[in-house]
Amino acid sequence: MARFVCYQCDSRVDDGCGDPFKMHQVNRTVECADYCVKFFHSEGTSANSTFVRRGCLHDYALYRLSKIDVCYR
């Protein structure tokens, strides 16, 4: 199976991970077998409670996503 490189980060601990994405500030990449994903999480109602996570998604069914919902090769 082909593998490709995805960014892995969390905007709660890495400012470069959020939006707009600052690729030059994020040094954390991982090799993924399936999909690269970007999730927006919200833990409350304030703007400060929203964060971004990027990384691999190994089981898209776990998140009830179809392959159309994610970018993949």
Report pLDDT digits (tens) over 22-70.
877 767 888 988 778 888 888 777 667 788 888 888 765 556 655 555 5
* pLDDT above 60 (res 73): no
What sign results for the dihedral spanned by CA atoms 55, 59, 62, 66? positive
pTM above 0.85, yes or no: no
Minimal CA–CA distance to 3: which of 30, 31, 29, 28? 31
* pLDDT above 50 (res 72): no
With tokens 């707009």, the residue in question is: 20
Task: Identify the band that residue 20 occupies on the pLDDT scale cut at 50, 70 and 90.
Answer: confident
Q: CA triplet 65, 70, 73: central angle to 5 degrees? A: 125
